Structure formats: structure tokens, C-alpha cells
Structure 1
Amino acid sequence: MAAPSAHPGFRKPEATPDFAALELEQIERWRRHDTFARQVRDGGSGEFVFYDGPPFATGTPHYGHLLAGTLKDIVPRYWAMRGYRVERRFGWDCHGLPVEMEIEKDLGLKSPSEVIAYGVGRYNEACRSIVLRYTSLWRQTVERMGRWVDFDRDYKTMDPPFMESVWWVFRRLWDQGLLYRGHKVMPYSWRLGTPLSNFEAGMDYRKVQDPSVTAAFLVTSDVPWGAGADDPRVFLLAWTTTPWTLPSNMGLCVGPDIAYAVARARSGGPAYIAAASLVGGLLGDHEVLATLSGTELVGLRYRPLFDCFASAAADGAFRVVADGYVVEDQTGIVHTAPAFGEDDHRVALHWGLPMRDPVDAEGRFTGDVASIVGGQVVGLFVKDADKLLVRDLKDRGLLFRQATIDHDYPFCWRSGTPLIYKAMPTWFVRVESVAPGSGARPLRERMAELNAQTCWVPDYVGQKRFGNWIREARDWAISRNRFWGTPLPVWQCVGCGHMECIGSIAELRARAGLEVHDLHKHFVDPIEWPCTQCGAATLQRTPEVLDCWFESGSMPYAQNHYPFKNKELVERNLPAAFIAEGLDQTRGWFYTLLVLSTALFDRPAFQNVIVNGLILAEDGAKMSKRLKNYPDPNAILDSYGADALRALLVTSPAVRAEPMRFSESGVREVVRAVLLPLWNAYSFFATYAVADGWTPPAQPLPLARRQLLDRWVLSALQSVVADVNAEMAQYRLYNVIPRVLGFVDDLTNWYIRRSRRRFWKTDDDADKQAAYETLYEVLTTFSRLLAPILPFFAELLFQRLEARDAADSVHLQRFPQADPAHIDAALEAQMALVRTVARLGRNLRETARINVRQPLRRLTIALQDGAADPWHALMADAVACDMVAEELNVKAVDVSPAGPDQFVQWSARLNFKTAAKRLGAKTKDVAAALAALSTAEVRTAQDAMGRDAAWTVHGESLGRDDVEFRAAPRPGLLTAVEGRVAVALDADLDDELRREGLARELLSRIQSARKEAGFDVQDRIAVRLDTTSAALAAAATAHDGWLRDESLAVRLDCAIVADVLGAIDVAGHEVSMQLQRVVV
């Protein structure tokens, strides 16, 4: 009679899976059947809106991109399987410093002046030519990672429609009075010749060593403190770490309420003025000539250290002023250079100090300082001039003290050069300030309110890191003195200063009277038109371009050319349901999105956001292409596949916005602990299904007709489904992924291992059918559950187990929804208890070095409250006890009515760290009293402390933190305690147990030999054993029937011989083994 045919979807699995190769097959399948497009097209009527932050394509994808990309893939896949339409358009950041730095390296340009000499038009076209240099590699890597995203409809920030929408955004801000051009001290990149925003300045702080200089400023006002002294001079002492700013000094600032001393060292010399509390550290042994408040020092005049701007005295320079930001540190007097310090600039405006700036756009000293240091600093980069300036001060007796200081200093995030702070004209969006006379409140206040409506994962990032940043947000500097970017759409009259803002190509065309097809700088800069205000001059475009963060913050509108097209679509889809990026974007894209959405629409930009942490090299250092301290992502994908990498990334601390140390061994461990067990589960099912010709029935067996283990695994699966849906609704992937992958252990290390015998049975009975149906239902449901996380393996399961046709896909199915009827919480609790007992028993075996194949006589279980314990009935159930007995290979399992104290002795020990200081001299006596307590007394103390009650020992009251409780097994028992559960294992062996243990060892070797011989699981065999060991022969004879049943042997012959050829060792006994297939 022919065997029944197998289900068409089942096939005998490969012996050794090549996950990377199998994934490539799935990619080809998705391409061939256009699966991604079908998922989007066939989505439900509801929209799930996802914004994808645009990367620069001037570099290759790194692990940070792959992590963020995986998060951006998991969530949209999930909601697509929930029945939503989820568009996923990729986008490219095309403008800005990353592109410009790349092209300058290619062209050998080193400064803005060299760019201008090269030609802005040529330069910009060169930028355009490399913008998409690595797009094909990006597309290849993103696809290889299993991420589904639409590259064919990608948006590019350099495309005219996108740029026109950015102009519209700018114009809206202009019309609302939220834009202004101010002259402020800004973080300045002298290498790039442009100011940066405050959040950009915070992106790259490094430890540096700078000079620490205290300079002496000679007082020129008529003061009495030097009269009659050998040295009548009086100096003000001021400290700085930027000696290069001293030539631009215009004032000295004191704290109005700080007490200052005029003091002279007792050894003689001039008098010095510094904060009274600091004079001793500055002068040593000294006498105080006078004490004054900072307010009393205001107006005091002094001689500048350098004479290059001596004429500024006529404009009010070189006098003492006061401000509350000054504190009692160093000297308590702050050198003020209004052109190079934010507080300096503010104080100068308040007190009317002039400003002098002898530093050019490339950070070099100009000819304005030719009169100092013999002209040696002219043309020098300012920081390189520090040593010359300090030496000059020393030579002239004006250097009071010199040292070095280690501190954090901001560097340009693109060029890697140290920033300087420099006053310059810059365009700002009002975030902190409000337009004069507007009556409006600061935008940041409304931003904070809208931010509270957003679900941040992790929560602390939004409420603290991002929330605090918003509350203290400054006006946003949006202009850059660069070339390749969206030009500011502002034209200004060269005569009267009248300005006009252009919000569209049509408006520019109307103003200029000519066609405009490209909005880049070299196309729009030549456009001029007559001024309608003065009628005497023309309007020319202001030269700056927009910060590329302004463009990426505009992407919700600009990607759809809003408002010129898709107006209803864009407004309907605000805010996005979901975005995800790295922690650094709290001061980048997350921030600019919120600024613009608040200003334009009074809405949050996004409802839910997942923030990932930084990925570091294995040693904790920053990943570096130069140092090559991390494995190539493509090599990892080729070796292990994308699912393994995805699983590692999304189970790491990085999904909680914490740093992750990446290692190849971590990927390898995911293959071992997750993918191979999953494969083995599938392989186990498919192997037996093919062998038995099993097919899924039209009507599955009802739950009531399945055994406890089946009902448990189905309940556990449904609980996972319920938990996953609940957590996904809150975007807590750090709870979702471990829950899903944790079920792999439930399935493989418990359900399948406990059910193997049911599949081996030759009888085609109802229990075997139930096992097949249960495992099939688990695997097919789990493939859907797994699909957003491990899309390749999920697809493989689906294709191998249930695909209806070649074009079908797990990603076109609906995500599982929990069936409450299948959830049995009591059963899950019972099985958890059984597994805890089994684990404790296995640990005891390992501790005692007793192999699990060696049967033992008895395991005794005791619960915390004995027979009254709520878990007692669950554990005393006969089926539960049988499972424990089988799992631990013991002959009997007893559930004791008594508590765990029958197995252990409890002791108490004083925690000296918390108690010794309070107890003082009584510490030793209390410790001795604790050590002398009986088990019953210790348990009484535990109960009391569990109720937060104090406990008195030797007359002293002790709290919970003062005492450490310890449990030790009673002599002669193998015991273990965990929570409410205690177990004791009887480890005594008799001859009968030893024979059975030896038989089990023998069976293990027979089964290994079957596998090595390549026999199928259903093959019948004959076994011939030759051994020198009477004990092994006795074991084989005593358990002959069992050995034959377990190994599918129709015959097992064992002979005692004097010598064994080709012997193998079985638990210390020599035996040779011959296996032969038998046709039945």
C-alpha cells in the first residue's frame, strides 16, 4: 500500500541551513512578485503615516543607519499587517556641509575663498554630480537588510519642487514675524566659513588642552590704593582660556554683589584687584588695602593689554562693567571681548561697549592687529597665535599667571576643526524671542505643550532630554554662509535696505519677469529687480543658503510639493503616526520637525517616536572607518544573514536609547540561540510530516481533546500575541522583541522536547494528530508574529508550511490577534512552576555532576506555605508531577505538605555597611546574636521584615537593609530554593538505577550511530553489540525491549567478548556497535 502523499507545501528540510543564501532567495521572490508594492496597494482604507528622515548619500550605510532602518522597518510592517496602508518613501539629504566637504576633498579646495575663486556655479554643479554617489549601495544594503522602502518614488532635497516648498515654509515664517536677521555671537566654523546653530555646536565636544591665562590690566583711573607705595601701580586681574581674544578686549566685567579686595603681597610689588574670596590663592601672604563691591568698581578705567584698538577708548571701551553672570571663580573678573563671546556681546550692548573684530572669515587675524607682537600674528589662525600673545604679555610684565587646562570644547561636526565664537549677521527663527509688539508668547512654550502630546520611547528622552532642550531653546540660526543649499528667498535693496521674501517660483518669475527652473544659488543670485520703495536701486538676493536641517525639518510638506500639490493629502497626514532616529536627533531632526510644525500648523510633527542609542565598537570606542575597529556590515550580512543582525540590534540596549557595543560574536550568538532553534523546530515538524505524509485537516481537533502540553503552548502563544499587540500599540520594542524571541525557548526547549515521543510513535492515533496540529498551528501563527522582526525567516516558514501559490507571502497576511478562548492563565502558571522545578532539579544534577541520563529515586518539592500555598494544587497535579519526573529522570516526585524549611537551614547576618555606624559599640554583640538565631527565629524575622516591620535583636531595632538572610541545604541533601519553591533530590544510587542509567547511555550512542549512518527517522534497524563489560551487557539485557522500542530496532544482540575491535566508550565501558537497515 502506497504511503499517503505529503502536503504540497512540505518538503524535507536541508540538513544544514545557509541563512544568508536562503535570504537571497526570499529577496528575489519579493522582487519577482512585487510583494512590497502589493502590501502597500492592498492595505486597508486607514492610513498609517510614516516619515523617513533623509540620510546623506555621500557615505555608505553604517550600523547606526542599519539599526534605525530596522526600527523603521519593524513598525511599518506591523501596522501594514494590521490592515493599514503604510507608504514608505525614502528620501535623500542632498545639500549642506557633508556634500560640500566631500567635493572640496575631491577638488582640493580648502576654504570658502578658494571655492569663490573656483566658481560657485562650477562648484555647485560638482556637488550635484556626487550627491547620489552611493545611492545604489544604499539601495542594495537597505534591501539586503530586509527593509521595505520605496526608492523609486524617493524625494531629494535638491529637486526644485522640494526647494520650492522649503521657500513656502520660509515665507510662512516670514509672514508670521518669526524670522529676523540679527548680529549675534554664534558658533563659527572657520574651516567652512559659516556660523552653525547651537544644537550643531553641541554635536561634537572633545577633550582639549588650552592655555589658562591670568592677565594684569593696569588701572588708569585716579585711585588712592597705590599712593605712597614703592610700586604705586594697581592692576585688575582677569582670567581667560582664549588669549587670542585679548587684543579685542573692550571691557572687564565684575559681579555687582561680589566683594572685591584691593590687595598687595607682603613681599611688595603692585596692588591687584580680584574677588576677596580668591585673593589668598592668587597672592599668598598679603595685605588688603580696600574692600569694595562690584558695583563700586563700575566705571574704573584701565589700559588695554594691546594697543591695536586703543582708539576705541573714545567709544567707551576699557572700563569696568557689571553683570550677574559673573561668579567667584579664578579671579572673579571676566575679560570681555564683545565680538567673541555670547555673554560678552550681551553685556557690551547693555553697557554701550564698542566691538572690534580683527578675525576674518577663515579664522585668521587681519591687518587690524599689525601693530602688536611685531605684526607676527597677522594671517595666523587665531588659536595658533595664543603662544605669541602670551609670550608678549610675559615680556611686558602683564602676565600674572600661566597654566594649561583640560576641558570639553566644541568642534565642527563636519570638518572636525575647533569652533570659535564670533559675532556675525545671521538669520534666525524666533523660538525663544518674540517679535517686538506682537504680544505673542515664545514659540518654545507651545512646542513644549505639543511635545507632551507625543509618545516618546523611551519616555525619559522626550520628557527630560528633549523636553529640557525645548524649554531652554534659543532662537534657531538657519542661515549658512555656504554655497550648495536652498538659497534664502530674501532680496534686499542695495540702496534703502527694503527686503522682500519670495515664497514660490511663480512669485519669483513675476518679480523678475523671466523663467526660473532651478533654485540653486548660481541660478537665482543674478536675478535682480527695481526697488518699489526707493525706486533708485535694485533688490539683490541676500547671499546665505538655508541650514540643511531646515530642509529636513520641512520634509513632511516638501516631499509632496506642498502646498502647490497634494494639499489635502499632506494636511490629512499631519502629524505622522511614527518616526524613528538616533538619540543625536533630539537636537537635530526631531527638533526642527517640531519647530516648523508648531509654527506652521500648531500641531506636533509626530505622534510616536522611537529613539535609538549609539552603536560603538566592541571595545566601547567610537566606530571609525580610519581605525577599522568594526566588521564590515556587508561581510556580516554575507556570513550570517540580515535576520541575525536585525535580531542583535533590536535586542540590544540601543533600542532603549543606550549605547551598544557591537561584536561579530554577538551576531553569531543570535544564530545559535535564535535562528538555529527556530530552524530546528521547523525541521523537526517538516521531517516527520513528510515521513508520515501528514496534511493539515479541514477540521482541527478541539482543545478539549488535546493534552495539557498542547493546550499550554497554544495558550502561551496567544498570550505572546496579546502582549505583542499591547506593547506595539505603545511602540515599546524593547518589550516586544524579547517576548517574541523568548517564546522560541518555550517552543523548542520545552514543547518540542517534551513532545518528541508523540511524533516518533508508529501508531497514527489522536494524540499524534493533536501534536501535529498543535505544532503546525504554532509555527504558522508564529511566522506571522515574527514577520515584522525577522522578515526572511518568517517568509521561509510561511512558504514551506502554508503558501497557497508562488506569489503568496506572509507579509500579505494579517497580524495575529489574541483569542481569549485559547488563553489559560492558570495552566501557564502551572507550567511555569513545573519548568522552575525542572530547572532547579537540573541545576542540582549539574552541581552534583550526575548525568541526566542516570535515573534517580526521588525528587521532593516544597512550597513556601506548604499545603496552604496557592501553588500547591498546581504542582500536586499528577500530570505536572509526571512531567517533572520525565524531565529530571526520577522515579517519583513528591509534593510535600510541609514548607521548604525541611530542606534548608536559615541564618541571618548583620549588614555592617548599613548598621555599624548606627549601632556603634553594640555592633559586635548584635552580629553575634544574629548568628546564634535558629531557623525558626530567622523565618519569623523574615516575615516581620516582609511586612516592613522593624525587628529587635539584643535590644536594637533593625530594618530590612540591616540584615542579610541566607539559606543553606541541610546536611546530606541536594537542595535548591528559588522564591516560593524548594526542591530536594535523592542522589543515592542502587544497582538497578545504575543499570538503567547505563542503558540510557547506550541508547544515546545507538541514536548517534543512526544519525551518522544517514538512516531516516522511520527506518528500522538491527543492532549488534560486542563488549568486554558484563555490567553493560547486563544493562542491555535488562532493558532490551526499551532499547529496541526507542531505537526502532527489530533486533538487538549483545555479546560479551574478550577483546573489542573499533571500540567506543560508553560511560567507561568498551563496546563496538554495528547497525544495519532492516526492511519490514
Structure 2
Amino acid sequence: KPVLYYPLDSWFIKTTAVKEKMMALNTTINWKPASTGTGRFGNWLENLVDWNLSRSRYWGTPLPIWRTEDGSEVKCIGSVEDLMKEIDAAVAAGVMEKNIFEGFEVGNHSKENYEKIDLHRPFVDDIFLVSKSGKKMFREPDLIDVWFDSGAMPYAQRHFPFEHKEKFNEVFPADFIAEGVDQTRGWFFTLHAIATMIDESVAFKNIISNGLVLDKNGNKMSKRLGNAVEPFAAIEEHGSDPLRWYMLTNSQPWDNLKFDISGVDEVKRKFFGTLYNTYNFFAMYANIDGFTYAEEEIPVADRSELDRWIISLLNSLVKEVAECYETYEPTRAGRAISEFVGENLSNWFVRLSRRRYWGGSYDKDKVSAYQTLYTCLNTVAKLSAPMAPFYADLLYTDLNKIAGKEKDQSVHLADFPVADDSLIDRDLEDRMAIAQKASSMILSLRRKEKLKVRQPLARIMIPVLNNGFQEKFDAVKSIILSEVNVKEVEYLNDAAGIISKKIKANFKTLGPKYGKLMKQIAAEVTGFTQEDISRLERSGSYDLTINGEPIALSLEDVEIQTEDVPGWLVASEGGLTIALDINLTEELKQEGIAREFINKIQNIRKDSDFEVTDRIVLKIQKNERFNLAVENYRDYISNQTLASELVMVDVISQATAHTVEIDTDLEAVLVVEKHS
């Protein structure tokens, strides 16, 4: 059947009368993203027309307007109390036979009382009123736009202004609302319009305009296409916390999310798996040593540099995450927590501190290590709670069962962490960042040459950019050398003639900055000498003049590559250049073999379910290719593997013998047994 369009008389709210006020109030709202507030919603307000309020429907919220048949007299009812009075007047005037809401008690706001009446159409159509001149009045047959109901919800939910008038401002305006971007002309507008017209206020202070969840290829999900993900099935398989964490950290809530279920699994492994393993490490050794945080708190100033570094970083994290939550940036908060747990707490602090927990006496340094790791885990639980409520609560309660440090039974009842600025040491954080970066670069060079980390190397060379850099590098030198298994570092005050570098323009940064001049800048950069490159690295900037226009180059505007020299591997990143000596002496080879033995023996211990404190007896079948290495490093191997005895034998025929790979074409046969 054809659709017919024809004009109808309608009721409007004259929103254009408050257009300027609505626009002004909109600028005070924190929109996420800001572009929706200034663009989509802002443009809607700039082109505002009056609000068409009436709808022609059978059931719904009626227009509370009665008019005489000739339209000369109008009444608008503002409350049930007003309506009851008008009905009684109509009954008295003979317009109605009786009050159809008889028995309703004005002022009684109980559910039972309100069940006696129904204010929706069509029931209210049986109500007729009387005008001042005594004429019969009929209700306007139209309904109110349902979006008006949505916009009135802050008042309706509190029955304002009939109840809770004195406390209404405690809950209005709302601190925060969230809905899809399609609500720009719906709920967002009706809330804003009604609040502006009632008392020239905003209805909400902060708003997240949610994006859409698409499939991994960016297509809209639908059952027809078979690309829809069943949320409850995903929760059942992966857990609600990993699913929530993935969705919040993968993209900003106001951006469209390309949902890939493999990403949820990655979050479960990389963040939750790492956090679980870190707690498991802590719990295992804390149980062995009987640590319950009963010892007196060791002042942070008296703790090791590694402890002070992670505590500093933790307090920096607390500041960052608190700011992100306060400004409705959950994605940044989640990513910061993930990086702290993965890169700093687990991959750096715990790994570099393992020896402090393992073995040795229960001294001040070990207690400090336990207190530091406990504090980090407990704080991470509190920071993560808004985004991972279930796992954060489990971690918090598991820690608190033993230590009893927290008075609250749940992480969701605990106070949010507050950063202690006195514990933040930026210089220490910078020094450790150099250590992490240098270690990463050296380990990358090792992988390039397929040199295992267990194989010691002789030295690295570092070009010195300035005195401050050498001082910082020197402060973390021992950590770097230990981490990458290199014996020493050599500083170069003049790398020219030793390390050769190439440079080219980074068009991604230069293009937006300099546009048409980009090609000329690129040609100039390509002609840089080794001294020019060194100058740029030292100062972080380089001034050029192109066609009379000053150009300030930064390190991000160029890409610097290094060339390997015979016997060395060279890497450069962000102004830091490192050359790695890959020549192997016989002594270095022997130490590498010893480290391989330690690794394989430790794996056998683990696979055999030995306790970490169990001592062992170790038998190794002789092989001329590693006999000398084992003899020279006998004590080292024994100490690292808790071997009470290490015996070299001609032949091992025991069924319990293990064959392990020491090198590409070198195997060893050995027996690992508990010492009786």
C-alpha cells in the first residue's frame, strides 16, 4: 500500500527560545570524544528547531492539556493533585458523573496508592474537565513524545519536585552518562533541553558517546553474515574480566571496536596470565620464608635501588591511572597498568630480583623485596578493580588473607590509592629506562645473530652523547651487563671512524609539519655527514634553512640506521647507539656451556616436581667437547642447581637418565636425583 504524507496539527516546545543558553551550557560538558560535543551535537544545537512534542498513538503518556470544544479555553495540568481537584470540580459541575480515581490519596506516594490509578492514554480520555466559564473540556488526543520521558528521567526517578526536593541537587546533574552516538538527537538532546528549560542547568557533567562493536574486518555484526559473537559464550570461554579488559584497552570506548576473539585470549595470557604468575611467584617464596608482612615496614629510602625504582614507577602509575579515570580515559588507564605489570613489574623487577627471593638468609634485603612486591601487587589490584572487578578482588583478598594489612573485606570497599610524590624519583626512572632500552637493543642484536643469552659475550661499545648520559648509563651498567650477559662496557667519546651511520627523512612527521618543503628537507638530510648525525643525536635538534624558511629538525623527524663493522653488531634507536662484540674466546664458550647445563638441570628439577629447596646429586656422562667446561665451572653449576655432588662418569646407563641439547650438534646425558 502506498504511504501517504499529509500535514497534521502538532504541539511544539519552543526550544529555539533557549537555543543560545543550550549552546553555552554544552561547552561546559566534558564530551568523550570532544568532537561529538562540538561537532555532531554542537551542530545540532546551532541548527535547532522547535521540538515537536506530540504523537498520535493509542497508548502512552498523554499530553496533560484539556481544551474546550471551540478551543477558546485551555488548561494544562501540572500534577496528580491538580488533576484530582479539577476532576472534583468537573463532577460538581455535572461534566462527569464521578471521579474515576476515587480512593486515591493525594500525598501518599506508596506503590499501593499509585496502583489505584492509571495516567496513560486511553484511560485519561474518560476524564472531562470544566472551564472557568463552565464549558466542558476535552483532553487533547495526542501523546507526549517518548523521548520527553527519557529526558525527564532525572526528575521522574526522584519524583521531583513532589518528593526529595531538598536532596535533589545531591544527584543532579549526573556526574556521568554513556550511550551510543546515535543518541545525539535522542537522549542526549532531551536531557540537555529539559534541564536547560527548567533551571538553566546541564543534566550531565561528563558523557561517553559509545562507538560500535564491529567484526575483526570492520564489518557490522549480523546473524545473517554469521560474523556475530555471542557475548555469553565469550564470557564462558574466556571470563568476563579478560573480555572487558580487551574491549576497554583495545580502543577508546567512543571509537568503533574491531572485535577479534583472539585478542581476548591474548589479553588473558599477556596481562592476566602475567599478573597471576607474578602473584604465584610471590606466594610460593613468601610461603617458603613465612613472610606475612609482620616485620616492621622498611623505609623506602633504605631499600635497594631496584625496589626504589619500582616503588617510584608505581606511584607514577597511581597518578596516571587516577587522572585517566577522573577524565574518563579508561583505555589509557588499562594500557598503563598492563605495561607496568608486563614490562616493569614482571619482566624487569621480578626477573632481576629472583636471587633475592631464592635461598639465602631471611635478611633485611629479602624482607624489602617481599614488602615491595606485595605493595605493587596490592596496588595493582586496587587500580585494576574498576576494569577487572572479579580478578582484582581475588588478588586483593588472597594477599590480605595472609598479611591482614587491609581492613576492608573487598577491594571494592577499599580506598583508591593515592600517589606519594616524595617516593617518585624521575632521575631513577630515567636511568632504569636507559637500562631497559639498552638491554632490549642488545638482546635484539643477539637474536639477529642467533646468540643465546646464556652465551656470555666480551663487551659493548657506547658512543657518549654527553657527560650526563655517561653518568646515567654508568649508574645502571651492572644491571645491563647482567641482563644481557656481557662482561664490560667501553665508552666512545668519538665514534667517528668506528661506527658508521646512515640517515633519512621521516616523511610521516615531516609531511604534516612542512608540506611542500618536505622533499627539499629530505634531500638536505640525506647529505648529512657523520658529524651532522652525531650533532643531531647529541642535542636532539638540528636547524636548517630551506628557501629562507627556518626548519627545526628533531630526532623524530629522521630515521638513523647503523652499519655493522667486522666482528661487531650495531644498533641505533632514539639517539642511543650500541655496538656488540660477537667474537667468542674459548673461555666465553666454556662459560656458555656451563650456563646451558644449569638451564637444562633446572628444567629437569621442575619437570620432576622437586621443591625449590631440594638439594640434588648430579651425574654427567663425559664428553671431550664439554669436559673442561664442566670441570672449570663445577662450583658455579653446583651452586646454581643446589647440587651437593657433581660427578663426571664415563657411561650412564640408568633408565632415569636425561639426554639434553647443549648446542646445535652437542648433547649431554645426565642424571638428576634428590640428595638423600
Q: 1:830 to 1:530 in 2, by over 3 A?
A: same
Q: 1:871 to 1:901 in 2, by over 3 A?
A: farther
Question: Which residue number in structure 2 is paired with residue 451 of structure 1?
Answer: 26
Residue deviations 1:420-454 (CA, integer Å, cap 9, x gap): 9753333322222xxxxxxxxx2121011111122
- Alignment check: 8 A CA contact 2:249 2:334 kept: yes
> Which residue among 855, 866, 871 is the counterpart of 2:456?
855
Say whether 1:840 aligns with 2:438.
no
What does residue range 101-500 of structure 1 map to in structure 2 within 5 Å? 380-382=1-3, 423-432=7-16, 442-496=17-71, 498-500=73-75
Per the TM alignment, residue 608 of structure 1 is displaced from its structure 2 partner at its CA by 1.9
- Alignment check: 8 A CA contact 2:59 2:122 kept: no
Larger Rg: 1
Say whether 1:729 aligns with 2:329.
no
Q: 1:1036 to 1:981 in 2, by over 3 A?
A: same
- Alignment check: 8 A CA contact 2:621 2:652 kept: no
Per the TM alignment, residue 826 of structure 1 is displaced from its structure 2 partner at its CA by 0.8
> How far apart are the structure 2 equivalents of 1:734 and 1:807?
27
- Alignment check: 8 A CA contact 1:945 1:959 kept: no
Question: Which residue number in structure 1 is paired with residue 625 of structure 2?
Answer: 1031
Residue deviations 1:628-664 (CA, integer Å, cap 9, x gap): 4222111111111111111111113232x21111121
Question: Which residue number in structure 2 is paired with residue 1010 of structure 1?
Answer: 605
> How far apart are the structure 1 equivalents of 2:130 and 2:374?
78
- Alignment check: 8 A CA contact 2:309 2:425 kept: yes
> Which residue among 629, 633, 640 is the counterpart of 2:238?
640
User: 1:874 corresponds to which letter in structure 2?
Assistant: K
Q: 1:918 to 1:871 in 2, by over 3 A?
A: closer
What does residue range 862-941 of structure 1 map to in structure 2 within 5 Å? 862-863=463-464, 865-867=465-467, 870-877=468-475, 880-898=476-494, 902-907=498-503, 934-937=529-532
> How far apart are the structure 2 equivalents of 1:700 and 1:573?
42
Question: Which residue number in structure 1 is paired with residue 108 of structure 2?
Answer: none
Q: 1:770 to 1:897 in 2, by over 3 A?
A: farther
Say whether 1:826 aligns with 2:420.
no
Per the TM alignment, residue 511 of structure 1 is displaced from its structure 2 partner at its CA by 2.0
Question: Which residue number in structure 2 is paired with residue 752 of structure 1?
Answer: 350
> Which residue among 83, 87, 90 is the counterpart of 1:512?
87
> Which residue among 637, 641, 654 is the counterpart of 1:1047?
641
> How far apart are the structure 2 equivalents of 1:708 and 1:862?
26
> How far apart are the structure 2 equivalents of 1:695 and 1:910?
54
Per the TM alignment, residue 968 of structure 1 is displaced from its structure 2 partner at its CA by 2.7
> How far apart are the structure 1 equivalents of 2:334 and 2:562?
37
Residue deviations 1:64-85 (CA, integer Å, cap 9, x gap): xxxxxxxxxxxxxxxxxxxxxx
Residue deviations 1:325-370 (CA, integer Å, cap 9, x gap): xxxxxxxxxxxxxxxxxxxxxxxxxxxxxxxxxxxxxxxxxxxxxx
> Which residue among 524, 529, 535 is the counterpart of 2:129?
529
Give secondary structure in 2 for the equivalent of 1:1063.
Answer: strand
Per the TM alignment, residue 744 of structure 1 is displaced from its structure 2 partner at its CA by 0.7
- Alignment check: 8 A CA contact 1:906 1:966 kept: yes
Give secondary structure in 1 for the equivalent of 2:382.
Answer: helix
Residue deviations 1:241-266 (CA, integer Å, cap 9, x gap): xxxxxxxxxxxxxxxxxxxxxxxxxx
Say whether 1:545 aligns with 2:143.
yes
Question: Which residue number in structure 2 is paired with residue 585 of structure 1?
Answer: 183
> How far apart are the structure 2 equivalents of 1:945 and 1:600?
57
User: 1:700 corresponds to which letter in structure 2?
Assistant: E
- Alignment check: 8 A CA contact 2:466 2:538 kept: no
* TM-score of the aligned structures, taking structure 1 as reference length: 0.55
Q: Percent identity?
A: 34
Q: 1:1078 to 1:619 in 2, by over 3 A?
A: same
- Alignment check: 8 A CA contact 1:529 1:540 kept: yes
Q: 1:908 to 1:505 in 2, by over 3 A?
A: closer
Give secondary structure in 2 for the equivalent of 1:487.
Answer: coil
Q: 1:544 to 1:1009 in 2, by over 3 A?
A: farther
> Which residue among 615, 622, 626 is the counterpart of 2:220?
622
Per the TM alignment, residue 945 of structure 1 is displaced from its structure 2 partner at its CA by 11
> How far apart are the structure 1 equivalents of 2:646 and 2:160?
81
Question: Which residue number in structure 1 is paired with residue 94 of structure 2?
Answer: none
- Alignment check: 8 A CA contact 1:593 1:605 kept: yes
Residue deviations 1:931-966 (CA, integer Å, cap 9, x gap): 6764235556899993543169xxx99967999664
Q: 1:933 to 1:631 in 2, by over 3 A?
A: closer
> How far apart are the structure 1 equivalents of 2:35 and 2:10?
33
Residue deviations 1:28-54 (CA, integer Å, cap 9, x gap): xxxxxxxxxxxxxxxxxxxxxxxxxxx
What does residue range 967-1006 of structure 1 map to in structure 2 within 5 Å? 967-972=561-566, 973-1006=568-601
Question: Which residue number in structure 2 is paired with residue 671 of structure 1?
Answer: 268
What does residue range 783-798 of structure 1 map to in structure 2 within 5 Å? 783-798=381-396
User: 1:694 corresponds to which letter in structure 2?
Assistant: F
Give secondary structure in 2 for the equivalent of 1:607.
Answer: strand
> How far apart are the structure 2 equivalents of 1:555 and 1:902?
73
User: 2:11 corresponds to which letter in structure 1?
Assistant: W
- Alignment check: 8 A CA contact 1:841 1:888 kept: yes
How many residue pairs match? The answer is: 636
Give secondary structure in 2 for the equivalent of 1:982.
Answer: strand
Per the TM alignment, residue 695 of structure 1 is displaced from its structure 2 partner at its CA by 2.0
Q: State the superposition RMSD in angstroms.
A: 3.2
Per the TM alignment, residue 1048 of structure 1 is displaced from its structure 2 partner at its CA by 1.9
> How far apart are the structure 2 equivalents of 1:939 and 1:700?
48
> How far apart are the structure 1 equivalents of 2:152 and 2:518?
65
Per the TM alignment, residue 589 of structure 1 is displaced from its structure 2 partner at its CA by 1.6
Per the TM alignment, residue 551 of structure 1 is displaced from its structure 2 partner at its CA by 1.1
> How far apart are the structure 1 equivalents of 2:535 and 2:428?
33
> How far apart are the structure 2 equivalents of 1:905 and 1:997?
32
Question: Which residue number in structure 1 is paired with residue 105 of structure 2?
Answer: none
Question: Which residue number in structure 1 is paired with residue 205 of structure 2?
Answer: 607
Q: 1:421 to 1:834 in 2, by over 3 A?
A: farther
What does residue range 546-565 of structure 1 map to in structure 2 within 5 Å? 546-565=144-163
> How far apart are the structure 2 equivalents of 1:797 and 1:770?
21
Q: 1:711 to 1:940 in 2, by over 3 A?
A: closer
Residue deviations 1:352-404 (CA, integer Å, cap 9, x gap): xxxxxxxxxxxxxxxxxxxxxxxxxxxx324xxxxxxxxxxxxxxxxxxxxxx
* TM-score of the aligned structures, taking structure 2 as reference length: 0.87
Per the TM alignment, residue 559 of structure 1 is displaced from its structure 2 partner at its CA by 0.5
- Alignment check: 8 A CA contact 2:535 2:542 kept: no
> How far apart are the structure 1 equivalents of 2:338 and 2:178?
22
User: 1:443 corresponds to which letter in structure 2?
Assistant: V
Q: 1:793 to 1:965 in 2, by over 3 A?
A: closer
Say whether 1:691 aligns with 2:292.
no
User: 2:15 corresponds to which letter in structure 1?
Assistant: V
Structure 2 residue runs of 5 or longer lacking an equivalent are 89-98, 102-115
Residue deviations 1:310-337 (CA, integer Å, cap 9, x gap): xxxxxxxxxxxxxxxxxxxxxxxxxxxx
> How far apart are the structure 1 equivalents of 2:608 and 2:346?
25
> Which residue among 413, 419, 424 is the counterpart of 1:812?
413
User: 1:487 corresponds to which letter in structure 2?
Assistant: P
> How far apart are the structure 2 equivalents of 1:964 and 1:720?
31
Q: 1:900 to 1:822 in 2, by over 3 A?
A: farther
Give secondary structure in 2 for the equivalent of 1:1050.
Answer: strand
User: 2:442 corresponds to which letter in structure 1?
Assistant: G
